[in-house]
Amino acid sequence: MKETTYLEAIKEALDEEMARDPDVFILGEDVGVYGGAFRVTEGLSEKYGEWRVFDTPLSESGFTGAAIGAALVGMRPVVEMQFADFVSCAFDQLVNVAAKNHYRWGAATPLVVRAPYGGNVHGGAFHSQCIEGFFFNVPGLKIVAPSTAYDAKGLLKAAIRDNDPVIYCEHKYLYRRIKDHIPEEDYAVPIGKARIAIEGNDVSIITYGAMVHTAIEAAQTLKESGVSCEIIDLRTILPLDRKSILTTVKKTNKVVVLHEQTKTGGVGAEISALISESCFDYLDGPIIRIAAPDTPVPYSAQMEEAFIPQPKDLITAVEKLMRY
C-alpha cells in the first residue's frame, strides 16, 4: 500500500492499462508532451509515444467522434476533455453515436471520456460545471464519479475495460487535495456498485464525488450531537445502484441526498423518486435534497462558497429530519 493522490491514482490507472493492453490510448488537447492541463497524462507520451498519447486539434466533437470510430474497430480510447465543460461540444457524438450504437446496430463502443468537473476552484461558469446532468437522461451511457483515490483508480480501470461508453467524472477539487493508501496490485472497482463510506443508523446521506467529503465533515459534527449518519458514496451515477440505495433507506428510514450539481433535474431527483417509488413505506420523513442552486457557477470566492453545498447546509437538513 502506498499513499497516492486522486490525480496520481488516475494517472496510474492510465499507465497500467496502457501497459497491459496495447489497444488503450489517450487523445485530447495538450495531453501529449505537455501532459494535459492538469498534468494527469504527464510522462505518458514519453513512455508510450505520441500516437498513443495523441494531441488533437481543438475540436471536441471531432476527436470524440474519432475515439468512437477507433473504439468500433477494437481500440479502447480514453478521451480527455480539457475541462468537463467542453464536453458540451461533443454532446451530439456522445448522445447520438456512442450511446446508441449498441442498441441500434449491435456494435460495442468501448470508450472512456475523462471529464475534469466541478467547482470550488474559482473557475467561473465555464470551468466549474457538473456535467452529469447533460447525460443522465441518455440511455446507453454510463457515468461514474469517484470520490477517493482508491476509487479514482479502480473505476477508471473498470471504465477502460468496460465495453460501453463511460463518462468518467473526475473532480478537479480533489486532484491534489486527497490521498489514499492504495494497493500495489491491480484492482478494479465495479461499475454500478455504490459503497458505504461511513456506516450509521439514524439517517442516510446519499452522495458522490467531492460532496462525499462534505458529507463526512458534516457527519463528524453530527456525531458529536449524537446523530449517526450512514454515508452512501454512489461511485456510479448511471446506472444507479438501486439495491444499495434502497438498503440504506430501509435501515435508517431517513434520507438526505447531497450533490454539487444544480438541484433541478439533478441526480438527486432520480434518487428521491426511486426511493419514493420503491420504499415509500420505510420513510419516516421527507427526502431532502441539498444541492447547488439553479444558476451557473459564480466566480467570486464569496459567491462560489454560497453556491456550493457546505457541511452546515447538510447539518441543518439532517437536524430537521431528526425532528421528524
Q: Is the Cβ of residue 29 or residue 241 nearer to ligand TPP in the bound state?
A: 29
CA dist 52 and 46 (Å) reads 10
Q: Give the number of other CB atoms < 10 A from CB of residue 276.
A: 12
* From a copy of itself, other proteins, ligand TPP, none, interface partner of 43 (C-beta below 5 to 8 A by class): none
Q: Is the Cβ of residue 43 or residue 265 nearer to a copy of itself in the bound state?
A: 265
**Look-up: residue for cell 442516510?**
204
In sequence order, what are the residues at sequence separation of 6 or more whose Cβ sits closer than 8 angstroms to the Cβ of residue 153?
4, 9, 10, 12, 13, 182, 187, 189
* From a copy of itself, other proteins, ligand TPP, none, interface partner of 242 (C-beta below 5 to 8 A by class): other proteins
> Is 127 assigned a catalytic role?
yes
Residue from 38, 48, 54, 136 touching a copy of itself (CB under 8 A): that is: 136
267 sits near a copy of itself (criterion: CB under 8 A): yes
Pairing, β 76-80 against β 112-117:
parallel
Cell of 47: 513512455
| Catalytic residue chosen out of the listed positions 102, 122, 127, 213 | 127
**Helix axis angle, 267-279 relative to 242-252, nearest 10°?**
60
Residues composing the chain: 324
CA dihedral 99, 103, 109, 113 (to 10 degrees): 20
Q: Is the Cβ of residue 68 or residue 115 nearer to other proteins in the bound state?
A: 68
* From ligand TPP, other proteins, a copy of itself, none, interface partner of 305 (C-beta below 5 to 8 A by class): other proteins
Residues numbered 176 to 235 that lie near a copy of itself (CB under 8 A) are none
Select from 72-80, 86-94, 151-159, 169-177 the region that touches a copy of itself (CB under 8 A).
Answer: 86-94
User: Quick check: 256 and 314 in contact, CB under 8 A?
Assistant: yes
60 sits near ligand TPP (criterion: CB under 6 A): yes
Rg from Cα positions in the chain: 19
DSSP string over 139-159: BTBEEE---SHHHHHHHHHHH
Residue from 294, 305, 306, 312 touching a copy of itself (CB under 8 A): that is: 294
How many residues bind ligand TPP (CB under 6 A)? The answer is 6
88 sits near a copy of itself (criterion: CB under 8 A): yes
* From other proteins, ligand TPP, a copy of itself, none, interface partner of 286 (C-beta below 5 to 8 A by class): a copy of itself
Select from 20-28, 45-53, 82-90, 182-190 the region that touches ligand TPP (CB under 6 A).
Answer: 82-90
* From ligand TPP, a copy of itself, other proteins, none, interface partner of 118 (C-beta below 5 to 8 A by class): none
**Look-up: residue for cell 476552484?**
121
φ/ψ bin of 106: left (φ > 0), alpha (ψ from -120 to 50), beta (otherwise): left
Q: Is 50 exposed, middle or buried (0-12, 13-18, 19+ CB in 10 A)?
A: exposed
Q: Is the Cβ of residue 225 or residue 273 nearer to other proteins in the bound state?
A: 273
- Shortest spacing between CB 15 and a copy of itself, in angstroms: 32
CA dist 270 and 142 (Å) reads 15
DSSP string over 227-289: --EEEEE-SEEES--HHHHHHHHHHHS-EEEEEEEESTT-HHHHHHHHHHHHHGGG-SSPPEE
* From ligand TPP, other proteins, a copy of itself, none, interface partner of 201 (C-beta below 5 to 8 A by class): none
Residues that bind ligand TPP (CB under 6 A): 29, 58, 60, 82, 86, 89
Where does this chain bind a copy of itself (CB under 8 A)? Answer: 85, 88-89, 91-92, 95-96, 99-100, 103-104, 125-126, 133-134, 136-140, 238-240, 261-262, 264-270, 272-273, 275-278, 280-281, 283, 285-289, 294-296
Catalytic residue positions, numbered? 127
